[in-house]
């Protein structure tokens, strides 16, 4: 390549030769997310020129059986229809290895398979292991990989090996530490890529670009100008087929400990030193997590509202209550909704409350961040507007993560006409309008980054531990039957009435979504 820019872009976009082994290959995550994401990467020409994906699980399948399954999952879940030419190219690199994660034999066969793939292609492949299994197999699989010499020493070998794991990263601080110690027996911390798929969402990444590539917002991003912040992660779905997993986790472990705190920390970080090393951003995120005020018993009662949905209507359809869902223990106290008030104890954000609400079976699926700015110190429009009943609205910046990805700023403007009145108007940036291309799925970006060895969008262990140490007191207090009662809300409504008490002190209100 003669053009150095093109060469650089090629290097950034095209990872080195890789064999990706997916454990849990017949499971939901592989079929719904991973295979469609790999297909789309192949479609866009982003996969390494030498690439292989090896599905591994207990079900006895041949390479061809697995290829057929992959084709079905792409047909059902990919954002694109199957293009026969792309499928032809992609499917040639799909293999399957039957293997029981707790037994040695399958791993011997896996090693032989990987070695022969390397020989066939005449090059050393990097090994990337994706554990799309239940976390109870993590320890066994990583130990067996180590025993077979399938994990390269990053200080001595050129071949890169990495392990990708999915949440839950433990159940509390203690179990998260144990999990990490176990993985560290085989893998170095910088070889472990912990996926939080929210970090792969375009709008979440755009928080960084928006904040640090535009000089005009950063000065406003502080207690001087921001009155309060709201973050809402709302889902209309219930617990569905995952009831037994969810019932033992609850909404705090399922969403707050990971997705919500990741959004919050990116929103509140200081400018990182650089975007070129993964740790600059992650160091700043940890600082935010450390600055969050801890929850004492009194605060849990006052600042954390938990609730469970009862039967109701979502999208006009009757849906069961949480306790009626199949797989939920009778009399379960697991919350499907939580509203919380966070406070950051640092110079930038001291005194700016961050209200969050997260729940299932709400009226619609929407994830939104809103920054509510302080009022103008003295409004010259106030008295005349009051006479006509329209005081200027508060300025507000909203970042919609999904489903309508975009950023809007609410400002006051004068409507045409003889009177000097004010009216709130929105200045909108919508992804769909500004970029003529569809956003990739979060897993596409994350798989590509893992193949490139870029851990920026993956969660580091100290972030996980900080998040648990913040939330453990809440979970423990609920387990001890204290910390405020579990209330209820009707499915299809915006949560329990009690959630608004969080905001009363400062006369704030939840934003209408
Ligand atoms: C998962 C949670 O991590 O995120 C699910 O376990 C939740 O309960 C899902 O439904 C939400 O993801 P998304 O991308 O649909 O917002």
- Helix/strand/coil (H, E, C) string of 50-111? CEEEEEEECCCCCHHHHHHHHHHHHHHHCCCCCCHHHHHHHHCCEEEEECCCCCHHHHHHHH
Residue 250 Cα distances to 210, 253, 328, 337, 365, angstroms:
32, 6, 11, 8, 18
Q: Which atom of ligand 1 is nearest to the CA of 201?
A: 14
pLDDT the model gives residue 79: 94
- Cβ of residue 235 lying under 6 Å from some atom of ligand 1: yes
Rounded mean pLDDT, 300-317: 96
pLDDT the model gives residue 464: 97
Q: Which atom of ligand 1 is nearest to the CA of 367?
A: 16
Distance 429 CA to ligand 1 centre (A): 25
pLDDT the model gives residue 419: 82
Find all residues with CB under 8 Å of 456, minimum gap 6, and list them: 275, 278, 281, 282, 449
pLDDT the model gives residue 68: 97
**Percent of the chain residues past pLDDT 70, beyond the cut:** 96
Distance 237 CA to ligand 1 centre (A): 10
pLDDT the model gives residue 168: 87
At 376-399, the pLDDT tens digits run: 877 777 655 555 556 788 899 999
Distance 442 CA to ligand 1 centre (A): 12
Q: Evaluate if residue 311 carries a pLDDT over 50.
A: yes
- Cβ of residue 254 lying under 6 Å from some atom of ligand 1: yes
Find all residues with CB under 8 Å of 199, minimum gap 6, and list them: 205, 262, 442, 446, 457, 458, 459
As given in the structure block, the two tokens for residue 367 are: 């994830």
Q: Which CATH class is domain 200-439+459-504?
A: alpha beta
Q: Which of 165, 168, 235 to mutate to test the pocket of ligand 1 (most atoms within 8 A of CB)?
A: 235
Quote the CA–CA distance of 491 and 500 in Å, as a whole number.
17
Q: Which atom of ligand 1 is nearest to the CA of 239?
A: 8
Quote the CA–CA distance of 83 and 472 in Å, as a whole number.
48
Taking alpha carbons only, the member of 382, 458, 426 closest to residue 192 is: 458
Q: Evaluate if residue 5 carries a pLDDT over 60.
A: no
Taking alpha carbons only, the member of 79, 83, 6, 20 closest to residue 48 is: 20
With cut-offs at 50, 70 and 90, classify the pLDDT of residue 314: very high
With cut-offs at 50, 70 and 90, classify the pLDDT of residue 421: confident
As given in the structure block, the two tokens for residue 86 are: 């792309």
Tally the C-alpha atoms within 13 A of residue 403's C-alpha that lie toward its C-beta: 5
At 65-117, the pLDDT tens digits run: 999 999 999 999 999 999 999 999 999 999 999 999 888 999 999 999 999 99
pLDDT the model gives residue 435: 85
Q: Which CATH class is domain 4-166?
A: alpha beta
At 183-196, the pLDDT tens digits run: 999 999 999 999 99
Q: Evaluate if residue 228 carries a pLDDT over 90.
A: yes
Strands 226-234 and 354-359: parallel
Tokens 């600082």 sit at which residue?
Answer: 287
Q: Which atom of ligand 1 is nearest to the CA of 167?
A: 3
Distance 368 CA to ligand 1 centre (A): 14
Q: 395: which DSSP letter?
A: P
8 A C-beta contact, residue 486 and residue 333: yes
Q: Which of 195, 197, 334 to mutate to test the pocket of ligand 1 (most atoms within 8 A of CB)?
A: 197
Distance 197 CA to ligand 1 centre (A): 9
pLDDT the model gives residue 1: 46
User: What are the boundaries of each domain within the chain?
Assistant: 4-166, 200-439+459-504
Mean pLDDT of the chain: 92
pLDDT the model gives residue 328: 96
**Which residues are tagged catalytic?**
259
8 A C-beta contact, residue 98 and residue 60: yes
Strands 396-402 and 406-413: antiparallel
With cut-offs at 50, 70 and 90, classify the pLDDT of residue 7: low
Find all residues with CB under 8 Å of 147, minimum gap 6, and list them: 104, 107
Taking every pair of Cα atoms in the chain, the longest distance, rounded to a whole number of angstroms, is 84
Residue 3 Cα distances to 7, 10, 96, angstroms:
6, 11, 39
pLDDT the model gives residue 37: 97
Query: What dihedral angle (degrees, nearest 10) is formed by the CA atoms of 19, 24, 27, 32?
Result: -30
As given in the structure block, the two tokens for residue 100 are: 């029981």
As given in the structure block, the two tokens for residue 337 are: 């909704």
Q: Evaluate if residue 9 carries a pLDDT over 80.
A: no
At 130-163, the pLDDT tens digits run: 999 988 899 999 999 999 999 988 887 788 899 9
CA 4 to chain CA centroid, nearest Å: 35
Residues in the chain: 513
- Cβ of residue 227 lying under 6 Å from some atom of ligand 1: no
Q: Assign residue 361 a region: left if phi > 0, alpha if psi is -120 to 50, beta otherwise?
A: left
Rounded mean pLDDT, 431-440: 82
State whether residue 266 is helix, strand or coil: helix
Residue 12 Cα distances to 197, 198, 450, 505, angstroms:
21, 22, 12, 49
Query: What dihedral angle (degrees, nearest 10) is formed by the CA atoms of 443, 445, 451, 453?
Result: -120
State whether residue 160 is helix, strand or coil: coil
Rounded mean pLDDT, 189-212: 93
pLDDT the model gives residue 327: 93
Quote the CA–CA distance of 127 and 362 in Å, as a whole number.
42
pLDDT the model gives residue 11: 58
Residue 282 Cα distances to 265, 288, 467, 493, angstroms:
10, 10, 13, 36
């Amino acid at each position: 390549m003669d053009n150095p820019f093109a060469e650089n872009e090629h290097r950034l976009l095209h990872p080195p030769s890789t064999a990706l082994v997916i454990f849990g290959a017949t499971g939901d995550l592989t079929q719904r997310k991973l295979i469609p994401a790999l297909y789309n990467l192949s479609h866009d020409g982003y996969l390494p020129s030498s690439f292989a994906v090896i599905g591994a699980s207990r079900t006895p399948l041949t390479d061809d059986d697995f290829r057929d399954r992959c084709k079905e999952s792409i047909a059902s879940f990919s954002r694109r229809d199957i293009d026969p030419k792309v499928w032809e190219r992609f499917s040639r690199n799909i293999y399957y290895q039957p293997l029981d994660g707790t037994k040695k034999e399958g791993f011997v066969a896996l090693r032989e398979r990987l070695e022969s793939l390397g020989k066939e292609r005449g090059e050393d492949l990097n090994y990337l292991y994706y554990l799309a299994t239940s976390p109870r197999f993590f320890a066994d699989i990583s130990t067996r990989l180590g025993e077979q010499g399938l994990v390269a020493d990053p200080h001595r070998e050129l071949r890169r090996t990495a392990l990708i794991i999915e949440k839950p990263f433990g159940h509390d601080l203690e179990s998260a530490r144990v999990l990490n110690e176990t993985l560290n027996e085989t893998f170095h911390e910088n070889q472990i890529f912990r996926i939080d798929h929210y970090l792969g969402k375009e709008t979440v990444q755009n928080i960084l670009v928006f904040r640090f590539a535009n000089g005009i917002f950063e000065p406003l991003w502080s207690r001087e100008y921001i009155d309060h912040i709201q973050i809402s992660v709302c889902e209309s779905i219930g617990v569905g087929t995952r009831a037994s997993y969810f019932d033992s986790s609850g909404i705090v472990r399922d969403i707050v400990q990971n997705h919500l705190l990741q959004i919050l920390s990116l929103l509140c970080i200081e400018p990182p030193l650089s975007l070129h090393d993964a740790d600059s951003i992650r160091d700043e995120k940890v600082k935010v997590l450390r600055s969050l005020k801890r929850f004492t018993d009194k605060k849990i009662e006052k600042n954390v509202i938990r609730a469970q949905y009862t039967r109701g209507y979502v999208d006009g359809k009757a849906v069961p209550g949480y306790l009626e869902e199949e797989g939920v223990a009778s009399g379960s106290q697991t919350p499907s909704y939580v509203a919380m008030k966070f406070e950051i104890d640092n110079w930038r954000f001291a005194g700016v409350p961050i209200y969050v609400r997260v729940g299932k079976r709400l009226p619609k699926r929407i994830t939104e961040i809103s920054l509510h700015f302080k009022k103008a110190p003295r409004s010259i429009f106030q008295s005349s507007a009051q006479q006509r009943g329209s005081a200027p609205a508060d300025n507000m910046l909203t970042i919609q993560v999904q489903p309508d990805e975009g950023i809007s700023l609410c400002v006051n403007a004068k409507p045409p006409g003889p009177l000097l009145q004010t009216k709130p108007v929105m200045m909108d940036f919508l992804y769909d309008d500004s970029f003529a291309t569809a956003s990739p799925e979060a897993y596409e970006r994350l798989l590509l980054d893992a193949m490139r060895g870029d851990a920026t969008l993956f969660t580091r262990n100290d972030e996980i531990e900080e998040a648990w140490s913040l939330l453990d007191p809440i979970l423990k207090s609920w387990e001890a039957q204290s910390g405020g009662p579990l209330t209820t809300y009707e499915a299809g409504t915006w949560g329990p009435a009690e959630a608004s008490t969080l905001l009363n002190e400062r006369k704030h209100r939840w934003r209408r979504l």
